[in-house]
Amino acid sequence: MGEDPNQQGSSRRWIIREVENSLRRLKTDWIDLYQVHRPRTDTDVEETLSALTDLVHQGKVRYIGSSTFPASQIVEAQWVARDRHLQRFVTEQPPYSILVRHTEADVLPTCARHGMGVLTYSPLAGGWLSGRWRKDTDLPTPSPARQRLVNRYDMSLPVNQRKLDAAEALGQLAEEAGLTLIEMAIAFVLNHPAVTSAIIGPRTIDQLESQLPAADVVLDDALLDRIDEIVTPGTLINPADSSFQNPALEPAARRR
């Protein structure tokens, strides 16, 4: 919850303390699903799973999951849970949208192999697929909450220009299909066989009403093929849209 190393992380001490704090704030006896958000390299996953297992046995947490874990660490957590007879992660919560498709290459099939539920978030790619970001309109200024994600919205960056081109093409495709871009974008995420649900983030009733119809939209193979022509499966247009950068792939960690 800050820069202090004693106020963050996935150690036994911190997890147990924060679960107790959450139970007190929520005024409840248990948490239905408790997810570890982003893996930590400074704590062994066995320690994390052991603490979570104790909380499950105590009845304070019913199910556990992970969020924004790369495929390799999803597998490691599953193996550790199996070998040490610990509770396993039953869900994964990755970002996924038409503009952010890198999870298709490894995370989604890995979750499917391990029978994990997948609760994707940001199906509208942080607003890029809301229908507002078009070349013939004034681009909206990112909200204060998104200012810290400047590389995702800085239109001077070529990768964001490519995202704008893709959003424009996808908007035209949705219109041809008799859909709004919002409906097509959310339906696309729900169409993936590994996806259990898509987490939406409306801030107003109007936004909610514009997103709910997507639950009943089915995209046919022809439309999905045309989407693939605009954004290739398994790709990430802007690396800044990845919620977790694998430390092993950072320049300083490469053996070159």
The 10s digit of each residue's pLDDT in 224-236 is 999 999 999 999 9
- The domain spans of the chain are 7-90, 94-238
Amino acid occupying residue 7: Q
What pLDDT sits at residue 252?
Answer: 72
132 confidence band (pLDDT: 50, 70, 90): confident
Percent of the chain with pLDDT over 90: 72
Q: Read off the pLDDT of each residue in 204-230 and give the average, rounded to a whole number.
A: 95
User: pLDDT at residue 90 above 90?
Assistant: yes
Per-residue CA distances from 129 to 205, 231, 238 (Å): 18, 13, 15
State residue 54's pLDDT score: 97
Q: Cα separation of 47 and 31, whole Å?
A: 20
Assess whether pLDDT exceeds 80 at residue 255: no
Q: What is the pTM of this model?
A: 0.87
pLDDT of amino acid 164: 92
What average pLDDT is seen over the chain? 89
Query: pLDDT-based confidence at 169, cuts 50/70/90?
Result: very high
Query: What is the residue-wise DSSP string for the chain?
Result: --S-GGGSSS-HHHHHHHHHHHHHHHT-S-EEEEEEES--SSS-HHHHHHHHHHHHHTTSEEEEEEES--HHHHHHHHHHHHHTT-----EEE-B--SSB-GGGTTHHHHHHHTT-EEEEE-TTGGGTTSS---TTSPPPPPPGGGGGGHHHH-TTSHHHHHHHHHHHHHHHHHHHTT--HHHHHHHHHHHSTT--EEE---SSHHHHHHHGGGGG----HHHHHHHHHHS-TT-BS-GGG-S---GGGSGGG---
Bridge partners, residue 47, by sequence: none
Please give the CATH topology (third level) of the domain spanning 94-238: TIM Barrel (3.20.20)
Q: What pLDDT digit, counting tens, does each position of 135-164 carry? A: 666 655 655 555 556 777 777 788 888 999
Listing DSSP states for 138-195 in one string gives PPPPPPGGGGGGHHHH-TTSHHHHHHHHHHHHHHHHHHHTT--HHHHHHHHHHHSTT-
